[in-house]
């Protein structure tokens, strides 16, 4: 099974900045449009179609970009082990360019992750600009997200090592401060010519004064700097 067109994978843990990176890459019109996940991993999902997923994420030039969080990737690997064409698919994956996006500041990533999963918080910024609700501070919950992020980042690292894959590693903080430089590093990794200017993404920065408040509360309670 030879997929066409070629594709690459953006790997991360949730709230690492994948949407921002994907919008920048999509804006170049040279690197595909990462749509969210490579396959549907839900229980009872239909058999995955790799070629269809790649085709849906492709630019006219034939480059396809896909993104995957560790929990979805782990589910994909489990399903892949049972697939009739698992051997061919694994060979394809060994030749795929991987981009590993992480955040140095896992605490702020954890706060973002926690807020995004809190029912009382309209953290996705509704289009009508209604007030963002503030969930009650929950140090144990934030701690669980810190541990989850650290654990899943470590699992990505082990998987790369075990499979002899050397991904391009980029940090959210670099993407935030130097977007053009960081995006061009990705394009170079993919063998795509660099861009001079970037299209501004529509995604809004989700960090706000509440995030900073929660971070400081957590540091005080946990005694971390």
Q: What is the pLDDT of residues 25-74, one digit of tens each?
A: 988 888 876 544 444 444 445 555 656 655 665 566 667 788 889 998 99
Domain parsing of the chain, residue ranges: 7-222
With both helix axes pointing from N to C terminus, report the angle between 70-81 and 139-162 in degrees, rounded to the nearest 10. 50
Handedness of CA 125, 131, 137, 140 (dihedral sign): negative
Confidence (pLDDT) at 208: 83
- Across the range 7-12, mean pLDDT stands at 90
Confidence (pLDDT) at 39: 43
Confidence (pLDDT) at 37: 40
Task: Say whether pLDDT at 2 is over 80.
Answer: no
Burial class (CB in 10 A: 0-12, 13-18, 19+), 225: exposed
* pLDDT band, very low/low/confident/very high, at 85 (cuts 50, 70, 90): low
Yes or no: is domain 7-222 CATH 3.40.710.10? Answer: no
Rg (C-alpha) for the chain, rounded Å, is 18
The pair of three-digit structure tokens given for residue 94, joined into one six-digit string: 């060994």
Separation CA 5–CA 87 (nearest Å): 19
Task: Say whether pLDDT at 174 is over 60.
Answer: yes
The helix (run of H) or strand (run of E) holding residue 50 is: helix 50-56
Q: Beta partners for 65?
A: 8
Q: Over the stretch 98-124, which tens digit does the pLDDT of each residue have?
A: 999 999 999 999 999 999 888 766 555
Per the document, the length of the chain is: 225
* pLDDT band, very low/low/confident/very high, at 130 (cuts 50, 70, 90): low
CA of 4: how far to CAs of 33, 66, 92, 152, 174, in Å? 15, 14, 11, 30, 32
Token pair 């839900």 is found at 42
Cis peptide before 5 (omega within 30 of 0): yes
Of 65, 80, 66, 46, which Cα lies nearest the Cα of 159?
80
Q: Beta partners for 68?
A: 11
Global confidence as pTM: 0.83
The pair of three-digit structure tokens given for residue 204, joined into one six-digit string: 């809004």
Confidence (pLDDT) at 63: 75
- Residue 117 C-alpha from the chain's centroid: 16
Separation CA 74–CA 155 (nearest Å): 9
């Amino acid at each position: 099974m030879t997929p066409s067109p070629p594709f690459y994978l953006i790997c991360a843990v949730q709230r690492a900045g994948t949407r921002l990176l994907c919008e920048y890459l999509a804006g170049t019109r040279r690197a595909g449009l990462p749509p969210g996940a490579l396959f549907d991993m839900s229980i009872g999902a239909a058999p995955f179609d790799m070629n269809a997923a790649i085709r849906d994420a492709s630019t006219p030039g034939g480059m396809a970009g896909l993104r995957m969080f560790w929990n979805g990737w782990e589910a994909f690997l489990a399903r892949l082990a049972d697939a009739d064409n698992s051997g061919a698919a694994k060979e394809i994956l060994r030749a795929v360019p991987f981009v590993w996006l992480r955040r140095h500041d896992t605490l702020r990533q954890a706060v973002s992750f926690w807020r995004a999963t809190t029912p009382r918080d309209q953290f996705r910024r509704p289009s009508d600009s209604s007030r963002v609700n503030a969930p009650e501070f929950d140090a144990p919950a934030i701690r669980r997200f810190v541990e989850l992020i650290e654990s899943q980042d470590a699992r990505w690292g082990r998987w790369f090592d075990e499979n002899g894959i050397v991904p391009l590693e980029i940090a959210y903080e670099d993407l935030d401060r130097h977007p053009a430089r960081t995006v061009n590093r990705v394009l170079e990794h993919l063998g795509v010519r660099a861009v001079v200017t970037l299209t501004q993404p529509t995604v809004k920065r989700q960090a706000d004064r509440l995030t900073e408040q929660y971070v400081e509360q957590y540091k005080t309670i946990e005694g971390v700097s």
